[in-house]
Structure 1
Amino acid sequence: MHTEYDPDDNFARTFHPESDVDEQAALETLVWQFLLLVNPGDEDAAMQQFAACRDAIADGADPVPALRDAIDWKAGFHIADDDATGLIEVMDELAARFNLRIDWGVEDAFDDEFLAEAEVPVLVNIAFDRLREHHYTVWTWETGEETCAGWIALQRDDEAVRMVAGALGFHVRTGAM
């Protein structure tokens, strides 16, 4: 039996065997909170993604890949580590949801010379810096694969993103270098 209690760890006992919490309901609550964070001001999009994610979890999927698939190119991204073109495309698409445009520092971000030299982590950092100017945070998470994945949330929600994403099993960090 777990006898230590840390009042600062809001999720320590949530999924503990002796807890009185309905694990499925608690998980759905966390998923819903996460989707609200990555879809700021767009509850309809969050609801659509929630339905897809809830179905996947009900079929036995882990929440992290279920969420990754539900938000991909809608509220998040998941691309190969070396896919600079894909990162620029998806970040431009995600920023457009907030009526923002990312200045990649070149006249044409799809120029072959620029893309040949571009590195995904550097591009994530550029997106982080440009979106931070508008009070958004680019988040990335460790996928355990040769991929780069993440989402955009409001800067004011940084602490909530850390807590909720962590409770779901995401190992997150901001896109800042």
Structure 2
Amino acid sequence: MISEYFNASQVQAAEQLIIAISPSDECVDRHLQMLRETELDDDEAEEAEGEPSQLLWIIKDIIDWETGFYVDWNDTESFVECIGELAESRGVTLSFGVEDPLAEEFLDEVDVPELMLRAHAELAAQGLVLWSWDTQGDAYGGWISRPEAAPVMATVAEVLGLEIREGNESF
């Protein structure tokens, strides 16, 4: 159980994040159950000890491509595909300002931060916010929520000791 590795406020922040970014009650229930039932092996438990930010890595694995994205720094195609699916699950579509955002010519001309900026603008126009978290590596991660989830993002960042920004300010 995840509560064996993290304190109550950290688990509560993780649960609030899952609730804030999930497009449906079914998704919330499934992801919360997966989180609560997470067991860590000895190495993972050692990494988690005293490092609340490790909880976000667990969440990343639970939500990946369903309510969150995590892509390599140069994987523009995966970003477009994943964020497109996340947007669709919320009933919106993204064009990234082009006719075919998966066209090779387009993907070769942009990078993930530029795509995040475009997606953030399109989502904002449709009443949603794209968020990004500091992976402290050569990858980009994040999710979509409603604007009123901003206080949840601030709490999660504070409690888990990490940095979360809107997608127009990528890391």
TM range (shorter): 0.7 to 0.9
CA distance in 2, matches of 1:157, 1:64: 17
The equivalent of 2:51 in structure 1 is: none
CA distance in 2, matches of 1:43, 1:27: 22
Query: Are positions 1:50 and 2:32 aligned together?
Result: yes
The alignment's C-alpha RMSD in Å is 1.7
**Partners of 1:57 and 1:63 within 8 A in 2:** no
Question: What is the one-letter code of the residue matched to 1:93?
Answer: E
TM-score by length of 2: 0.82
The equivalent of 2:58 in structure 1 is: 66
1:30 to 13, 21, 29: 13
Question: What is the one-letter code of the residue matched to 1:52?
Answer: M
Q: Give ranges in structure 1 of 5+ residues lacking alignment.
A: 1-22
CA distance in 1, matches of 2:165, 2:106: 26
CA distance in 2, matches of 1:63, 1:99: 29
CA distance in 2, matches of 1:25, 1:149: 24
TM-score by length of 1: 0.80
- Map 1:91-110 to 2 at 5 A: 91-110=83-102
Aligned pair count?
A: 154
Q: Which shows bigger deviation, 43-52 or 94-103?
A: 43-52
Query: Are positions 1:142 and 2:134 aligned together?
Result: yes
Question: What is the one-letter code of the residue matched to 1:86?
Answer: S
Q: Which shows bigger deviation, 101-110 or 54-63?
A: 54-63
Identical positions, percent: 27
The equivalent of 1:176 in structure 2 is: 168
CA distance in 2, matches of 1:150, 1:159: 16
**Partners of 1:87 and 1:120 within 8 A in 2:** yes
The equivalent of 1:120 in structure 2 is: 112
**Partners of 2:10 and 2:159 within 8 A in 1:** no
Question: What is the one-letter code of the residue matched to 1:55?
Answer: E
